[in-house]
Chain A
Amino acid sequence: MVVQLGLMAWFVDRLIVHDQPVTLVATGAALALAVVVRSIGQWGQEMAGLQASHRVRRQVRRALLNAWASAGPVGLSSCDSGRLSSEWTEQVDSLDGYYARFLPQMILAVIVPLIILSVVAVQDWLAALFLLAAAPLIPLFMALIGMGAERVNQRHYESLARLSGHFLDRIRGMTTLQLFGRSVDAVEDVAAATDHYRRLNMATLRVAFLSSAVLEFFASVAIAAVAIYVGFALLGMISFGPADEMSLFSGLFVLLLAPEFFQPLRLLSQYYHDRAAALGAAAHLSARLVASDSLVPQAAQAQRQEPDSSGIRVSGLGVRYPNGREVLSDLDFELPSGQTLVVTGPSGCGKSTLLAVLAGFMAPSQGEARIRGQSPGSMPVGWMGQRPWLVPGSWRQNLRLTAPEASEGAMLEAIDRVGLRSVLDGLPEGLSTRIGEGGLGLSGGQARRLALARLFLTSSTVMLLDEPTAGLDEATEAEVIEGVRGIIGGQRLCVIASHQPALRALGDQHLALGSTHHA
């Protein structure tokens, strides 16, 4: 680039000052070559940045997934999954600008002005001084403005994540909003949230723009000063320093170089909001990574042991939630292999909490639980929560969620067991029939039974069922209970939380949890 500009200045100088003919072809070729080299250099620089950003984002995504896994279902239950998924997608992507553009540009912003400055200094040290005088002010202003921008940006990212959670929540509750005639309020809510987002965004941008305007100002003033200085020097109106020796070549060369002196810094300030965006996102992401660290359940740290054939042993178990609510205390029981335990009790007594501990989703605050001689969470178990987990997709996809290798035959058998065979036979597309979000297209009971069928397909010999028949009518419930009966026994262990008398009959043991833990 320097060469290109130098050649141009030299060319003009030759022609005008020395009135020498120059070979057009040679100069043209040299100029073209300089332009080509410049383009290739630019290409290489940007490609390298792209590669770096690619690698960084891969690592961050992996780390986030690890954080989710170690927080577990209970740790994440208080987080909005829309927000988490937007963290994983958009926020990680917003690191891109920083690694692909800002960082490389930062290095260039130091090196390129230095090169140009030294070239200019060789031509005319006074002009170099003009540039130098403008340059140090720039980082100073940038730093001053940058400090504010960072805070604003962090807020901006928080509000973006909250906004996307807010949207998802409102959309999921759209029917509820309609039923309560609150749609108009919700529209206003969305308007207010979006407007808040706009104002935050503008605050960020105003600062980002101010920093580039400052730079722009100094760059323009310096170029203007150089131009005027060179002009007067050429006229011989400035008589000190190197001004006397100014030739058209050096003057023009210096003038052409002057904007290029500021160009890397200007690009840097354009990429500045890439940096601010990345820092905002990074603060958010690292907070997530740290937060999940503190929630690592006991199981993740426990040593691996070979499972033995013993059953479940719970001794002195107590659980207290971070909000101060104690749901279980001093719980003891032992369930031999092959048996089924039915846990009963009023709602809120801790049935689900006990199951979560057994699944390894949360660590007890006192005592311990052992399944087949191991800490919970170190071996796969079958789990079914209070709300059946169904994804938009076919019946087949839903059945294979936790049993990826299940054969068609096994799937049909499982469906038979939960009493869905007659429903399936009525579907022209069979297992390929699609289910909408949240089990749309299935009745509440059918969704539950499909999730149960999936549980039957897994190979695990330990099953934890949280209210498996809630919301089912008597006839369907009986079918499901028949299905459950078909898979318990043998070496299998089963813990069912339920208050249905019909399910109680399946239990070899019963555990009644009291309701004294409310206060």
Chain B
Amino acid sequence: MRELRPWLGLLQRHRRQLAVGLVLMAATLMAGLGLLALSGWFITATAITALAWAAGLNASLNLYAPGGGIRFFALARTASRYFERLVNHDVVLRLLADIRVELFRKLLRAEAYSAKRLGSAAFLNRLVSDVDTLDNLYLRQIAPPLVALAGSLGAAGLIAVFAPALSLVVLAVLVPWLGVVTLGMAWWTRRHGAAEMEAAERLRSHALTELEGMAELSAAGLLSRDQNDLLGEDNAQRYRQMQQETSAISGQALNTLVIHLLVAALLLFASQAWQAGQISGAVMVLIPLVIMALSEGFLPLPRAFMRLGATEAAAERLNTQDGSQPDSSGQPSEVGLPENPTLTWSHIRVARGAPVVFEDFSLSVSPGERLVITGASGSGKSTLASLAARLTSPDDGQVMVNGNDGALFSLSEWRERISLLTQDAHLFNESVAANLRVGDADASESRLWRVLEAVDLAPLVASLDCGLETPVGEGGGQLSGGEGRRLALARVLLRSAPIVILDEPFTGLDEATAERVWKGIQHWLSGCSVVLMLHDSMPFIEADRVISLTAGRAM
């Protein structure tokens, strides 16, 4: 239950609406209870009165108050249920939107690559389905037992007016039973619930893996085999679901059994009380009917609490996101970054979590310089690049601008000045234009065309049916590797930062295209300091300086 605490805290923000919802829920149950109880009482009372008349006795019965009461309860029940549902669902959905945005914000603050480390398949599950699972928490697992408890107490109170002894019987049965169908049910299904959720995540990640490796698998003729594995896992998973469902169904059947046995017992007890002259005949009918109406409040409980384990597991996984490192350098600096910055890696040491170890590494790029850093894959080029963009921080040493430690500046300010094309730059599953505008949100169409011209993509985009609005597919899948790379490059250029770091910009391009692109983008790079990370220097690139990097050491 501890896992749920942060989320219960979130509920407080919408306290008033939740209270209204709860009151409406209780009102609905009470109206139903009142309707059946009053009707039963009314009919029996009329029958007794009729008998009295038949016996020539002078009995009188006020017909209009109960009749009006019955009509009132009937309407009240309908209205309160409708508004209760609207109020509750709206507030819960609002709450869930809050949760999603909050989570996403947290993830963005987390150190670079930690998001990747968690694995996107697991992640997708976390965001969409865990948050939806938390939907259960209030609407299914907090409010209904409270309402059932309130209903039980209300029913017991009503009965206590006529027969205090019987109301004790009602409490003695209903309160423990409420514990059984809620906490007992949750305890019984918890183990399976957590296992089921884990398996569901594995299943989804397997499906995602298969989709991503579709080409390799189908080429190797292994697709059907993998699909059989997937179906096997799915069968096992559904078997687990069935076990859970069976528990819930049995719980519901037991629920019916207990409540209606109580109703029967109350009728018998009440009849004895009536025979003993303690209560009137009409009240004798009223007592069991109250409990019968109450059964509605108990009905949804077993199934809701079957899911408590899953809700807890979801909350727990969402909680682990809370552990993310906060953005410690969010404040804008007083100094302000200069327009023509000199970028310096100063006495850098990187030892943990990187494929390459740097020890006391220093390098400087002056304004307007063209610096080429060459090196084999794994020589540390990408590490230098992510240090410069402050995606990662060094274990020791500093990344500086004009002699000022980078940590003094806010990240957004920093990244306005330093633009980086990473090796795995992501293309969003949106249009060509939308992808470009990630680099410059306000870019005009003609500016987009100019930058596409620079990277030699303009003829291709022009030939597409929808032009700039053509979707690029998931991860740019509708484009060839080289085309996607050039689109990502164009996006970096639109940023117009004074320092541009390009990590392997020509991947997937033949030499002739690479040369055309390099020539084409010169205009966009004029006046900028450019750091090119390449595995080999290319003959057409005129660099001011070429540095060869081997295992974190400059040659």
Q: Please, which residues of chain B bring their CB within 8 A of the CB of A32? A: 261, 264
Q: Please, which residues of chain A bring their CB within 8 A of the CB of B147? A: none
Q: Please, which residues of chain B bring their CB within 8 A of the CB of A125? A: none
Knowing A213-B78, A224-B35, A346-B512, the reply to whether A380 touches B207 (Cβ < 8 A) is no
What residue in chain B is nearest A50 (Cβ atoms)? Answer: B245
A15 CA to B44 CA, complexed, in Å:
12
Q: Please, which residues of chain B bring their CB within 8 A of the CB of A202? A: 89-90, 93
Q: Is there contact, CB below 8 Å, between A174 and B391?
A: no
- A421 contacts B by Cβ under 8 Å: no
Q: Is there contact, CB below 8 Å, between B235 and A175?
A: no
- A345 contacts B by Cβ under 8 Å: yes
A17 CA to B49 CA, complexed, in Å:
11
A213 CA to B77 CA, complexed, in Å:
9
Q: Which segment of B181-189, B336-344, B395-403, B467-475 sits at the interface?
A: B467-475
- B424 contacts A by Cβ under 8 Å: yes
Knowing A65-B227, A171-B107, A231-B46, the reply to whether A17 touches B510 (Cβ < 8 A) is no
Q: Is there contact, CB below 8 Å, between B85 and A186?
A: no
Q: Is there contact, CB below 8 Å, between B40 and A252?
A: yes
In A183-229, the 8 Å CB interface with B consists of 183, 185-187, 190-191, 194-195, 197-198, 201-202, 205-206, 209-210, 212-213, 216-217, 220-221, 223-224, 226-228
16 contacting pairs across A/B (C-beta < 8 A)? A11-B271, A32-B261, A47-B246, A54-B238, A78-B473, A88-B204, A167-B127, A172-B120, A187-B108, A191-B100, A191-B101, A213-B82, A226-B39, A228-B70, A230-B43, A235-B53
Q: Contact check: which of A173, A224, A404 meets B428 at CB < 8 Å?
A: A173
Q: Is there contact, CB below 8 Å, between A186 and B477?
A: no
Q: Contact check: which of A80, A252, A438 meets B474 at CB < 8 Å?
A: A80
What residue in chain A is nearest B282 (Cβ atoms)? Answer: A16
A420 CA to B313 CA, complexed, in Å:
40
What residue in chain B is nearest A449 (Cβ atoms)? Answer: B377
- B355 contacts A by Cβ under 8 Å: yes
Q: Contact check: which of A217, A259, A347 meets B480 at CB < 8 Å?
A: A347
Q: Is there contact, CB below 8 Å, between A194 and B101?
A: yes
- B10 contacts A by Cβ under 8 Å: no
- A314 contacts B by Cβ under 8 Å: no
A54 CA to B239 CA, complexed, in Å:
8
- B389 contacts A by Cβ under 8 Å: yes
- A437 contacts B by Cβ under 8 Å: yes
Further pairs besides A16-B47, A231-B66, A234-B46: 11, Cβ < 8 Å: A58-B231, A58-B234, A77-B473, A89-B207, A175-B426, A178-B415, A181-B412, A347-B482, A440-B113, A441-B355, A471-B504
Q: Is there contact, CB below 8 Å, between B238 and A58?
A: yes
- B254 contacts A by Cβ under 8 Å: yes
A446 CA to B427 CA, complexed, in Å:
23
Q: Is there contact, CB below 8 Å, between A232 and B63?
A: yes
Q: Please, which residues of chain A bring their CB within 8 A of the CB of B48? A: 16
Contact with A along B374-415 (1 / 0, CB 8 A): 111111001000000101000000000000000000011001
Q: Is there contact, CB below 8 Å, between B536 and A168?
A: no
- B51 contacts A by Cβ under 8 Å: yes
Best-buried of B43, B96, B459 by chain A (most CB within 10 Å): B43
Knowing A15-B275, A191-B101, A471-B535, the reply to whether A392 touches B378 (Cβ < 8 A) is no
Q: Is there contact, CB below 8 Å, between B77 and A220?
A: yes
Best-buried of B113, B220, B264, B478 by chain A (most CB within 10 Å): B220
Q: Is there contact, CB below 8 Å, between A348 and B482?
A: yes
Q: Is there contact, CB below 8 Å, between A12 and B63?
A: no
With an 8 Å Cβ cutoff, the count of chain B residues facing the other chain is: 167
What residue in chain A is nearest B90 (Cβ atoms)? Answer: A202
In A50-83, the 8 Å CB interface with B consists of 50, 54, 57-58, 61-62, 65, 68-69, 72-73, 76-82
- B2 contacts A by Cβ under 8 Å: no
- A113 contacts B by Cβ under 8 Å: no
Q: Is there contact, CB below 8 Å, between A31 and B264?
A: yes
Q: Please, which residues of chain B bring their CB within 8 A of the CB of A436? A: 116-117, 119
A57 CA to B509 CA, complexed, in Å:
46
- A325 contacts B by Cβ under 8 Å: yes
Q: Is there contact, CB below 8 Å, between A518 and B288?
A: no
Knowing A24-B268, A173-B428, A471-B504, the reply to whether A345 touches B211 (Cβ < 8 A) is no
Q: Is there contact, CB below 8 Å, between B218 and A69?
A: yes
A8 CA to B535 CA, complexed, in Å:
89
Q: Is there contact, CB below 8 Å, between B78 and A216?
A: yes
- A27 contacts B by Cβ under 8 Å: yes
- A445 contacts B by Cβ under 8 Å: yes
Knowing A198-B96, A402-B216, the reply to whether A379 touches B221 (Cβ < 8 A) is yes
In B106-123, the 8 Å CB interface with A consists of 107-108, 112-113, 115-121, 123
- A112 contacts B by Cβ under 8 Å: no
Q: Please, which residues of chain B bring their CB within 8 A of the CB of A352? A: 480-481
Q: Which segment of A37-45, A136-144, A331-339 sits at the interface?
A: A37-45
Q: Which segment of A116-124, A147-155, A409-417, A473-481 sits at the interface?
A: A473-481
- B215 contacts A by Cβ under 8 Å: yes
- A467 contacts B by Cβ under 8 Å: yes
A94 CA to B399 CA, complexed, in Å:
52
Report A95 CB to chain B, min CB distance, Å: 12
- B443 contacts A by Cβ under 8 Å: no
Q: Please, which residues of chain A bring their CB within 8 A of the CB of B374? A: 473
- B446 contacts A by Cβ under 8 Å: no
Q: Is there contact, CB below 8 Å, between A169 and B119?
A: no
A interface SS class:
helix
Q: Contact check: which of B253, B377, B513 meets A446 at CB < 8 Å?
A: B377
Q: Is there contact, CB below 8 Å, between B478 and A380?
A: no
Q: Is there contact, CB below 8 Å, between A12 and B285?
A: yes
- A290 contacts B by Cβ under 8 Å: no
Q: Please, which residues of chain B bring their CB within 8 A of the CB of A54? A: 238, 242
Q: Please, which residues of chain A bring their CB within 8 A of the CB of B93? A: 198, 201-202
What residue in chain B is nearest A402 (Cβ atoms)? Answer: B220
Q: Please, which residues of chain B bring their CB within 8 A of the CB of A79? A: 474
Report A4 CB to chain B, min CB distance, Å: 7
Q: Please, which residues of chain A bring their CB within 8 A of the CB of B235? A: 58
Q: Which segment of A281-289, A383-391, A484-492 sits at the interface?
A: A383-391
- A303 contacts B by Cβ under 8 Å: no
A57 CA to B239 CA, complexed, in Å:
12
Knowing A8-B264, A347-B480, A361-B215, the reply to whether A460 touches B220 (Cβ < 8 A) is yes
Q: Contact check: which of B43, B100, B213, B242 meets A248 at CB < 8 Å?
A: B43
A380 CA to B224 CA, complexed, in Å:
12
Q: Is there contact, CB below 8 Å, between A224 and B465?
A: no
Report A471 CB to chain B, min CB distance, Å: 4
Q: Is there contact, CB below 8 Å, between B220 and A47?
A: no
Best-buried of A176, A234, A464 by chain B (most CB within 10 Å): A176
Q: Is there contact, CB below 8 Å, between B50 and A236?
A: yes
- B16 contacts A by Cβ under 8 Å: no
Q: Is there contact, CB below 8 Å, between A15 and B474?
A: no
Report A248 CB to chain B, min CB distance, Å: 4
Q: Is there contact, CB below 8 Å, between A43 and B81?
A: no
Report A326 CB to chain B, min CB distance, Å: 10
- B175 contacts A by Cβ under 8 Å: no
Report B297 CB to chain A, min CB distance, Å: 14
Q: Is there contact, CB below 8 Å, between B426 and A227?
A: no
Q: Is there contact, CB below 8 Å, between B117 and A443?
A: no
Q: Is there contact, CB below 8 Å, between B264 and A28?
A: yes
A458 CA to B108 CA, complexed, in Å:
40
- B140 contacts A by Cβ under 8 Å: no
In B226-270, the 8 Å CB interface with A consists of 227, 230-231, 234-235, 238, 242, 245-246, 249-250, 252-254, 256-257, 260-261, 263-265, 267-268
Q: Is there contact, CB below 8 Å, between A325 and B481?
A: no
What residue in chain A is nearest B267 (Cβ atoms)? Answer: A8
Report B427 CB to chain A, min CB distance, Å: 8
Report B442 CB to chain A, min CB distance, Å: 12
- A170 contacts B by Cβ under 8 Å: yes
Q: Is there contact, CB below 8 Å, between A224 and B39?
A: yes
Q: Is there contact, CB below 8 Å, between B74 and A73?
A: no
Report B383 CB to chain A, min CB distance, Å: 10
Q: Please, which residues of chain A bring their CB within 8 A of the CB of B40? A: 252, 255-256
Q: Please, which residues of chain A bring their CB within 8 A of the CB of B39? A: 223-224, 226-227, 255
